A = this chain, B = another copy of it.
Amino acid sequence: MDSAELLDILGNENRRRILRLLSRRPCYVTEISEYLGVSPKAVIDHLRKLEDAGLIESRTDDQRRKYFSISRNLRLEVSVSPYEFGMKSAYPASANLDVSRWRYLSLNVQLDAEETDETNETDADDDEERTEAEDGAEDDETVEQATGLAEELDELQQLQRELSLAQRWVHGRIADVQNRLGDALDGEDESRLHAEVLSAVAGGGSSVGEISRAVEAPEHVVDACLSELADGGFVERDEDGEWSLAEK
């Protein structure tokens, strides 16, 4: 689903309240209607939009009553600054993603989840025996597993908060650098595009096509911009027509 569609869906208070309710537990239409104080007809309308967007799904219980739950993991990020309006929505990255090999970022978390998972599977045979244990106190293994997972969850949530703070810090730094770069390039209206183009060249974009894709502007506009930057001595073109930052 694209970010625009997601923002249209989330830009309605009752739909947000439905999602919050369903994140606590699956619900019937009548429950949602009572909780929101909104007619079942209006609830069904919101549920249909959420279902069409793939955010929720419905099942039927033993009495053939339909109930709804959230079906999808999804993240949406929106950044607003004088130089940028960006939206991005994405599904969770794979658990197998190699998080140890980033260039600018290191995560200091225990990555033992996979092993725990395997332990669960080899233990599957004991499951029935275990559920027949006396009511009340669980056996030691269940307790150990649950408290281990609770600790892992807490650690991941703290990492999530740090990542969020880091994003805010980077967002502020980027706006600041864009601002100073705009000033250095004379503060004209067009200097924002000049700043973006210069940054794309710094990032390794060397052909007009690559730079044009990086800044999302037409090639003839980028071409004119590169010529002006070259006149100013900021960038230079080699014999093959590849652009790079001017040698200091």
User: Which residues of A are in contact with B by a Cβ distance under 8 Å?
Assistant: 4, 6-13, 16, 19-20, 22-26, 55, 69-85, 87-88, 90-95, 97, 99, 102-109, 113, 116-117, 120, 136-138, 140, 142-147, 149-160, 162-178, 180-181, 184-185, 189-190, 192-193, 195, 198-203, 231-234, 245-246, 248
Contact = CB atoms under 8 A, between A and B. Distances in A.
Contact of A163 (B83, B108, B120, B170): B170
B174 A231 contact: no
Contacts of A233: 137-138, 140, 143
> How many copies, total?
2
Contact of A70 (B70, B80, B94, B113): B80
> Is chain A's binding surface mostly helix, strand, loop or mixed?
helix
Nearest to A205: B154
Given A104-B109, A150-B245, 10 more contacts: A73-B80, A73-B175, A75-B168, A76-B77, A99-B166, A104-B155, A105-B106, A146-B198, A147-B198, A150-B201
Contact of A97 (B70, B102, B106, B165): B165
Nearest to A174: B156
